[in-house]
Amino acid sequence: MKLLSLIALAVLSGCVEEDIAYRFVAKGNAKPLSLLASEAQSFVCVVAIYRASPSIKPPELANGFEPWSVTPLSDRVNETAVELRALNNAGECWDAEIRKASGSPDPWHYTKAVQPMISSDHSGNVAVFDPQRGIFIAISG
């Protein structure tokens, strides 16, 4: 019983490394992704950054995700409610490890500086792909 309590405490405090790629990419597409950093804040967000092969082609997304878009968020006014909410929440998880792996102080700076490909589903999940650096970011929030 004591062990179960410790595990529950670790999960609720965000101390457990989160590998959430399987929720974002199509079956079999998570294998080439290697986890660089992750952070979770219970009931707020999970951010995981992966190293992908540098290429122009992003990973194939799981069912339910919109097609990849290269249009900046500021130009996609009607489509960005999920992305905006998830990026706001991701700021809570953008800790030192995430800042180091992304090279950015926060998710907003990252999306403005890099102008990556972005996709989302309607459940608060946002996928971000930077083909230049081979970075895939999974944000759940």
> What is the distance between the alpha carbons of residues 112 and 115, in angstroms, rounded to a whole number?
5
Q: What is the pTM of this model?
A: 0.81
Q: Which residues contact 29 (CB under 8 A, 6 or more apart)?
A: 59, 60
> What is the distance between the alpha carbons of residues 46 and 17, in angstroms, rounded to a whole number?
10
How would you write the pLDDT of the chain (141 residues) with one tens digit per residue? 443 443 443 444 444 457 888 899 998 788 788 899 898 888 778 999 999 876 678 899 999 999 998 877 767 655 567 788 888 888 888 999 999 999 999 998 998 888 899 998 888 899 999 988 889 999 997
> What pLDDT is recorded for position 2?
46
Contact between residue 70 and residue 115 where contact means Cβ atoms under 8 Å apart: yes
What does the block give as tokens for 25?
């990419």
The residues that bridge with 126 in the sheet, in sequence order, are 120, 139
> What is the distance between the alpha carbons of residues 49 and 3, in angstroms, rounded to a whole number?
29
